């Protein structure tokens, strides 16, 4: 019985290489089909995100899983790459280490931003797609269902997932959600169209934001971001007009000085008719001058305000980290014990069946000779034979259970098969 993972992630591979090895949804389906053809007796799950490309395999016999070289050859052929360019960037973990890695990934303890909420749905989606493609089996079902359960336990019993430490996640979860009860009825204006703007927007969309306008000096970039997130782009010249109608502003430009000072904001403020305005100024230097925050009904937060919350969350999360790690170790040990018990199950079943066959043959032979035995005596004899068989089998089966609790019982299993001549 073997479990393994081969792949790359943000710890050991560059973003350029991860992009070259990544699978689109359509490619992922095709890849699972090809892997089933190449390794028909191996169960497979393929996890591909922006930070990792990991292939999980499992099989009852270790030789049925692909080797490191075979996975490299598959990836090279699929993506049209030279194997030498990425061979050393792929890690491999097997057995208990593979299980621990899967649990850690699902619980977002291996993420670039620890505690981020996206990875568990991505792990579930990868498992579901592999199942739909008939690529999974008993071992991967057990492993991935356990990983999902472990991730939920850590989310429930620690504050790892609650303590956000990225600027965009803190901006939305710790600041905007503290101000607005809902986002589906709010006008959101994003000034700037870079990575910070896009990440913040995705958090807002997750909270229900739908009325989104993007303004950027480069209209092309604004159009591109609007297309990606289903918002609408407007020309830079409409900035004052859009500020007059917005409820929430996210500003992330690269301007060297404020784009909105008190003089510019004064007529905008009059046009707003005392409607509250919430501004998340994520730009460095600031896009909104400090004086703008002094206007009535304006709630202005800069990246410095958010950074303090990020640091406090990071310290709080670090206190929870050992607790989460202990949970991972507990769950990994429990899983391996259960898995090893499962490995012994078929042998125990065949050994008992073999002993029962011998017992029944001997009872039949004995009762054929003892024709005058009454029913009560017959039952007493049968019970005596049953106790004898159980006592004879108890020591080897107890040793097998103890061995399974300590680790893989393959050595003892093989010995029992030879001693009792148990056939596969």
User: Within this chain, do residues 19 and 152 fall inside the same structural domain, yes or no?
Assistant: yes
Q: Which of these is catalytic: 8, 50, 65, 310?
A: 50
Identify the domain containing residue 173 by its residue range: 167-310
User: Within this chain, do residues 184 and 277 fall inside the same structural domain, yes or no?
Assistant: yes
Q: What is the pLDDT of residue 12?
A: 87
User: Within this chain, do residues 259 and 404 fall inside the same structural domain, yes or no?
Assistant: no
Which pTM value belongs to this model? 0.62
Q: What is the pLDDT of residue 332?
A: 94
For 138, phi then psi, to 5°, come to: -55, -40
Domain limit, last residue, from 162, 184, 203: 162
User: Within this chain, do residues 190 and 286 fall inside the same structural domain, yes or no?
Assistant: yes
Domain limit, last residue, from 119, 135, 162: 162
Q: What is the pLDDT of residue 338?
A: 81
Domain limit, last residue, from 113, 140, 162: 162
Mean pLDDT by 10 residues, the chain (424 residues): 91 84 91 96 92 92 92 96 92 95 93 76 94 94 95 89 70 86 94 89 91 94 88 95 96 90 96 93 90 95 80 75 92 86 70 84 87 86 88 79 63 71 70
Q: Look up 50 and say whether it is catalytic.
A: yes
292 assigned to some structural domain: yes
125 assigned to some structural domain: yes
User: Within this chain, do residues 93 and 202 fall inside the same structural domain, yes or no?
Assistant: no
Q: What is the pLDDT of residue 113?
A: 67
User: Within this chain, do residues 289 and 261 fall inside the same structural domain, yes or no?
Assistant: yes
Q: What is the pLDDT of residue 272?
A: 93
Q: What is the mean pLDDT of the chain?
A: 88
How far CA 45 is from CA of 90, 220, 321, 335, in Å, comes to 16, 38, 28, 18
255 assigned to some structural domain: yes
Long-range contacts of 347-353 (CB under 8 A, 24+ apart): 347/400, 347/413, 347/416, 347/417, 347/422, 348/397, 348/400, 350/422, 350/423, 351/393, 351/396, 351/397, 351/416, 351/420, 351/422, 352/393
340 assigned to some structural domain: no
Q: What is the pLDDT of residue 91?
A: 95
DSSP strands (E only) in 10-85: 43-48, 52-59
User: Within this chain, do residues 35 and 121 fall inside the same structural domain, yes or no?
Assistant: yes
Q: What is the pLDDT of residue 86?
A: 92
323 assigned to some structural domain: no
The count of structural domains within the chain is: 3
**Which residues make Cβ contacts (< 8 Å) with residue 361, sequence separation at least 6?**
none
């Amino acid at each position: 019985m073997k479990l393994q993972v081969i792949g790359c992630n943000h710890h050991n591979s560059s973003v350029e290489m991860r992009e070259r090895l990544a699978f689109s949804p359509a490619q992922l389906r095709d890849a699972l089909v090809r892997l089933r053809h190449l390794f028909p007796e191996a169960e497979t799950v393929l996890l591909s995100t922006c930070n990792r490309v990991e292939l999980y395999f499992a099989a009852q016999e270790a030789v049925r899983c692909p080797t490191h070289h075979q996975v490299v050859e598959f990836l090279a052929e699929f993506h049209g790459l030279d194997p030498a360019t990425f061979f050393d960037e792929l890690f491999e973990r097997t057995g208990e280490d593979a299980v621990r890695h899967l649990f850690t990934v699902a619980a977002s303890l291996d993420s670039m931003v620890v505690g981020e909420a996206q990875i568990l749905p991505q792990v579930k989606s990868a498992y579901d797609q592999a199942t739909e493609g008939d690529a999974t089996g008993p071992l991967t079902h057990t492993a991935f269902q356990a990983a999902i359960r472990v991730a939920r336990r850590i989310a429930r019993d620690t504050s790892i997932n609650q303590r956000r430490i990225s600027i965009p996640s803190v901006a939305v979860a710790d600041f905007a959600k503290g101000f607005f009860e809902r986002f589906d009825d709010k006008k959101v204006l994003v000034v700037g169209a870079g990575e910070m703007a896009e990440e913040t927007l995705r958090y807002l969309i997750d909270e229900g934001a739908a009325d989104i306008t993007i303004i950027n000096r480069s209209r092309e970039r604004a159009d591109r971001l609007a297309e990606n997130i289903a918002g609408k782009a407007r020309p830079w010249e409409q900035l004052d007009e859009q500020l007059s109608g917005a409820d929430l502003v996210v500003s992330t430009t690269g301007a060297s000085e404020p784009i909105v000072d008190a003089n510019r904001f004064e007529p905008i403020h009059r046009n707003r008719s005392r409607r509250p305005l919430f501004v998340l100024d994520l730009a460095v230097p600031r896009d909104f001058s400090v004086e703008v925050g002094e206007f009535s009904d304006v709630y202005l937060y800069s990246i410095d305000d958010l950074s303090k919350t990020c640091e406090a969350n990071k310290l709080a999360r670090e206190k929870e980290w050992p607790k989460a790690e202990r949970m991972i170790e507990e769950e990994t040990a429990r899983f391996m014990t259960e898995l090893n018990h499962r490995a012994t199950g078929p042998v125990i079943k065949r050994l008992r069946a073999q002993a029962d066959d011998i017992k029944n043959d001997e009872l039949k032979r004995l009762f054929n000779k003892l024709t005058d035995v009454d029913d009560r005596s017959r039952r007493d004899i049968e019970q005596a034979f049953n106790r004898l068989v159980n006592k004879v089998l108890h020591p080897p089966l107890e040793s097998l259970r103890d061995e399974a609790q300590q680790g893989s019982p393959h050595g003892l299993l093989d010995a029992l098969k030879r001693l009792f001549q148990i056939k596969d």
